[in-house]
Amino acid sequence: GPGDRVGTSAITFAASATCAAYVGAQPVFADVEPVAATLDPDALLRALTPRTRAVIPVHFGGQPAQMQAIREIARDRGLVVIEDAAHALGASDAGQPVGCTSDMTIFSFHPVKHVTTGEGGAVTTNDARLADRLRRFRNHGIERDPTRFTVASPGPWYHEMQDLGHNFRLTDMQAALGRSQLTRLGPWVERRRAIADLYRAQLAGVAGVPGAMSSEQLALHL
């Protein structure tokens, strides 16, 4: 809320910062690691203040940020970690799919992404409390959980507005479109990796193009 701060990457789409501004918090930008262009953990440390409440690392161009270091920083300071994985559906971090280990991870299904619903996205979390809040938030703050109802023995038609939410649901048609593509996610990611390797091979030796290093070199660098 107002007065709080949220650390995020200096290279990102606007939404990684405006989500903090929507609730009156202040986004604070930290510099990126020079090769992968993902949030630099040391720069994040320098950007933290006692008012920092959350950190939003951004996985850039399919390359996950240095999440182990970032999570350790967040754990030591009690910060919420929200991964921006709009670029990274299908990527892995330390042998696990991106989106498995932080408080929340967001994915984009915009038309330029390799799985698309036309527009929209998804949030993943392993926290049942956050999942409950997210479901209400996307649906006008409305729920049908009888344990929270304020009237006795409501019928199956009954529902209550528990929070101030929004209409952030995907349509059924959009959801069906996205689900139909999930079985092809693996081959599509491999195709993109093959194209990236082609660029690396063609740009190898070009001065000032750090992206020309191989996948193996990039892994060693990180």
Does the active-site annotation cover 113? yes
Rounded Cα distance, 72 and 78, in Å: 10
3-state DSSP assignment of residue 58: strand
Across-strand partners of 63? Answer: 60
Selected catalytic residue, list 53, 113, 138, 140: 113
Tokens of 137: 């938030």
Residue appearing with tokens 């008012």: 51
Among 37, 66, 45, 22, which residue's Cα sits nearest to residue 222? Answer: 66
- Residue 175, number of CB atoms within 10 A of its CB: 15
Residue 74 structure tokens: 């967040």
Give the number of other CB atoms < 10 A from CB of residue 76: 9
Of 82, 19, 35, give the one whose Cα is nearest residue 54: 82
List the catalytic residues. 113
